[in-house]
Structure 1
Amino acid sequence: MDSIAANIETIREQIHAACIEAGRDPAGVRLIAVSKTHPASLIKEAFDAGHIVFGESYVQEFLEKCEDPLLAQLGIEWHFIGHLQSNKIRSIIGKVSLIHGIDKLSTAEELSKRALRNNLQVDYLLEVNTSGEASKYGMSPEELLSLAESLFTLPNITLRGLMTIASPDRVLAQQEFRLLRTLLDALKPISPDPSKLTELSMGMSGDFREAIHEGATMIRVGTAIFGWR
């Protein structure tokens, strides 16, 4: 296997190429290195290669890593990309730059309550189940649109965009990425500040090129950087 530094460089080159194909500025796509289940030593290796944005999915594992002496002083930009239960919010609030996986109004309300209590402003994304698969987390497109006005009124939290995990089939995935972009556009007319709705977190190791073509601003790549777990 190539080094992590070489893998990151390869992914960056592929992002650049996909953006050029799509007529987009490569600076408009951020790479999130998905480091869940990988040790702190590999995260440090990626950081030393110039990468600072990492995504974690499990609360306890994230807390151990952000407090690890190897990583704690590095200035890592942590994103929480996994499913987040309301009772876990208190453990991560103030420690991550962006929460990707809010999928219920009640969870957003708890996030708002905790942010208010801690005098914090918290950015988050709503997870949408664009494939309709029962096994996946996320609001349905219809639920998203029906709850949007309620979500926009919650204090101390800012909705920055949407996130999805697409189908394994690339043709279906591209359709689902397109749907997510359409949903973000549909939210803007009812948002109190549409300029803040800028993020589409979609695309992983196997389908990020399709996601970039459909407007992804963040792609979540783990296997292609760190290898199989």
Structure 2
Amino acid sequence: MNQLQHSAIAENLQHVRERIASIAALCERTPEEVTLLAVSKTKPASAIEEAIAAGQLAFGENYVQEGVEKVAAFADHQPPLVWHFIGPLQSNKSRLVAENFDWCHTLDRLKIAQRLNEQRPQNKPPLQVLIQVNISDEQSKSGITLAEVPQLAAEIAAMPQLRLRGLMAIPAAESDYQRQLAVFQQMAAAFKQLQQSYPQIDTLSMGMTDDMPAAIAAGSTMVRIGTAIFGARDYAAKV
């Protein structure tokens, strides 16, 4: 990676942070209320190093094996990086997530929750988890319905090695701001309802590069940004 690309990642991060601050101000929110998660899937360690140099410490990975390798590569970094698993999770990969990641955003089945709880090492803090909601009811997407959230939340809350922190959603692609906002507001309402039962609930993970303004306006506390930071992805390079 040449110096031009290096500086581009730092500049992109600065631009995204400024956008978050600007959008938050319009909504009478503070930038500190919105965590920026840098989605580093398919990107090399050198790109992550540049983001770290620019002050980014929280990273999201979609592919288990690739993510595990990156977690190991940066295991000794101080201050520690925070690794979020944000991709679909199959049963046969749950142990790797339980043993290596700090967060899992895509919990949508009791079976997976039970496996993560059993497989989380006792010497690590509980795995921070979010319930994934299929808010647009897309057959191709993971996640549960809003009506199913209370039951799964109650089951997760009883597991000692998991800590339920909130909800996550990936709405269907939509270019119209008002329609984006309407979907995100449904998520925000469900999030507030969940907070009434579980005081530790504090994370609403929604909003990506193309719909971040509507997500923040609706109340997102964590946006998952990849392309706007690292540029287009080369999926052929995926581990």
Q: Is the 8 A contact 1:79 1:98 kept in 2?
A: yes
1:16 aligns to 2:21 (yes or no)? yes
Unmatched tracts of structure 1, length 5 or more: none
Tell me the equivalent position of 1:188: 195
TM-score, with normalisation over the residues of structure 1?
0.91
Give the deviation of 1:31 after TM superposition: 0.3
- How many Å separate the matches in 2 of 1:46 and 1:155? 33
Give the deviation of 1:118 after TM superposition: 5.9
- How many Å separate the matches in 2 of 1:106 and 1:90? 13
- How many Å separate the matches in 2 of 1:85 and 1:6? 36
1:207 aligns to 2:211 (yes or no)? yes
Q: Is the 8 A contact 1:86 1:111 kept in 2?
A: no
SS, match of residue 56 in structure 2: coil
One-letter code of the match for 1:30? T
1:172 aligns to 2:179 (yes or no)? yes
1:6 aligns to 2:11 (yes or no)? yes
SS, match of residue 38 in structure 2: strand
Tell me the equivalent position of 1:197: 201
1:225 aligns to 2:229 (yes or no)? yes
Q: Is the 8 A contact 2:106 2:132 kept in 1?
A: yes
Compute the RMSD of aligned alpha carbons.
1.8
Give the deviation of 1:114 after TM superposition: 1.7
Unmatched tracts of structure 2, length 5 or more: 234-239
1:42 aligns to 2:53 (yes or no)? no
Match of 1:109 among 104, 114, 119: 114
Q: Given the superposition, is the C-alpha separation of residues 203 and 36 from structure 1 closer, same or farther in structure 2, using an over 3 Å criterion?
A: same
Give the deviation of 1:67 after TM superposition: 2.2
Alpha-carbon displacement from aligned partner over 1:169-191 (angstroms, at most 9, x marks no partner): 143322221111111122233x3
SS, match of residue 120 in structure 2: helix
Alpha-carbon displacement from aligned partner over 1:66-100 (angstroms, at most 9, x marks no partner): 223xx343222111111112221211224222111
- How many Å separate the matches in 2 of 1:6 and 1:119? 35
- How many Å separate the matches in 1 of 2:221 and 2:28? 14
Give the deviation of 1:146 after TM superposition: 3.6
TM-score, with normalisation over the residues of structure 2?
0.88
1:78 aligns to 2:88 (yes or no)? no
| Matched positions, count | 224
